[in-house]
Chains A and B, each alone.
Chain A
Amino acid sequence: MKWTGDLAHFPYPFKGSTYRYSNNSIPMKQPYCIEVTSSYKKEMLFKRKLLSDHPERCYQSLPHSITGQWEIVEIVIDHLVSQYPQDFSIEQENNRWIFTNKILDEKKEFIFGEKNSLPCEPLFFISQHVQEDLIYMRQRDDNLYLDAGQLCFPANWSLAFNIGMKFKSIHHPIPGFKEEGLDQRILQFLMRLEAGTPWERLNWSLMAGDRLDTSLETFNQWGRLRKQVTSENAGELVHIRVEVQKLFRLPRTNSILFSIHTHLLALEQLATNIEWLQQFYEILSELPDHIVEYKGISTYKKAVLKYLEKQLQQVKTL
């Protein structure tokens, strides 16, 4: 899916001329866990199709996550309604809630906290109204566990495999993460996360193609495009994939909501901003091999660099 919004609103992820793994979280300026963009309708239809065609791949939960799931329903609706009052509304009469989504022309009535008043689990229900993937991390015994999640647009990982997993185990595949003590530091940071003070961070990667659903399960469908990248087609084919990740403490269950909003931008669009072009070229040229390898860029990094060089030369001769 292509970036259709204003380029100035693209969550461009880079600072400086090098990139390393670090805790790059910052306190949020606007404390909302969701955002509605111009591709809302298209993405919602796509997400719902994935949820109904591949429920096991896109949705997982453990039995004791239900209370936390309701807390997510509450915070997401609250943020939708306060940020976009023209598009979403909620009527509450005791525990009887009527949620209206005007963009999709839908009205949903349910009893808050009453599982049987919805046709599906609470997290599944609310995830059908937001572009974000929603992950529920439960805190117990000084640890965080992935106890429920709705994930339609993963960057090459499997929710079904990761269900029930501890924070550090989830991050086990990332090279250097443990060795540098980053996993422990980030875990400590998350355990200290306070209600009312949410944080956000940007994660980035490159991909061949413009699919949002790059799940590990479907790797054989989208992974082979990597081999087709050339310096001629890179501008169109290769996309920078940026995840806006937000972290909210849920006070009642003392758990964490981790929301992921994925944005894709073709390199040719990125290259229209000359500062971005120059900076991204420097970062990619310098990027350590283990990060290049982990992000899956190895096969086509050379082609992308060549493409970026060409663009830079054109700018300089103008």
Chain B
Amino acid sequence: MSMDAVFIEGKRKYIFCSDEHGLRVLSSVFENVKKEKLAYEWYHFSAEKRECLEEFLSKQKMGTFLYVELPYSELHTVQMMAKRIGFSSDETQYFGYGEKWISIFCCRCHELNRAEEQQTGLTCHQCELKLEVSDHYSELYHAFLGYPATG
């Protein structure tokens, strides 16, 4: 994830996905797209509309570029969704804001748990196993593995 949104030329369409708080990083690219009279669409994100977003993104044609700016707590889900649909890392830029969360994959029940970045242990909210946060990371889940806590 880079710090500033970068305008990528030559795409058939630009999609901006954000909520009402997260327009800071995307506005300069948006100005560029408007100035050059390129095709674009805004997707005003809210947690309830997460599933509609999947449908919306699935309908896009090849050559569409996706900019997303959302709270960290939502960003990973959208990132995973876009990847699943087929957006590659060259066709997307993601920006998070707000409190930074990491996901912890429960080694027993496979549930993804939220944790703060510095957190070393937690209890799985689904199966209640005590977990120790490791640095073993899965790019597919965007999550760290939680091992059974010892002691």
Contacts and interface: CB of A to CB of B under 8 A. Distances in A.
B138 A162 contact: yes
Interface stretch (B47-55, B66-74, B102-110): B102-110
Interface residues of A, number: 18
Contacts of A166: 139
Contacts of A165: 138-140
13 contacts: A56-B110, A158-B145, A161-B107, A161-B136, A161-B138, A164-B140, A173-B134, A216-B107, A216-B148, A217-B108, A217-B109, A220-B108, A223-B148
Interface string A135-175: 00000000000000000000000101111111001001100
Interface of B: 105, 107-110, 129, 134-141, 145, 147-148
B59 to A, nearest CB: 19
Name, among A158, A163, A172, the residue most crowded by chain B CB atoms within 10 Å (CB to CB): A158
Interface in A194-221: 216-220
Contact of A217 (B107, B137, B140): B107
Contacts of B134: 173
B131 to A, nearest CB: 11
Contact of B135 (A56, A158, A172, A223): A172
Contact of A220 (B135, B139, B148): B148
B105 A161 contact: yes
Nearest to B148: A219
Given A165-B139, A220-B129, A160 B147 contact: no
A216 B147 contact: yes
A172 B136 contact: yes
A172 B108 CA distance: 20
Please list the 6 inter-chain residue pairs (A to B) with the smallest Cβ-Cβ separation, ordered nearest first.
Answer: A164-B140, A216-B107, A219-B148, A173-B136, A160-B110, A217-B108
B113 to A, nearest CB: 13
Nearest to B110: A160
B147 A169 contact: no
A298 to B, nearest CB: 10
Contacts of A223: 148
Contacts of A172: 135-137
A172 B110 CA distance: 19
Nearest to A56: B110
A162 B138 CA distance: 7
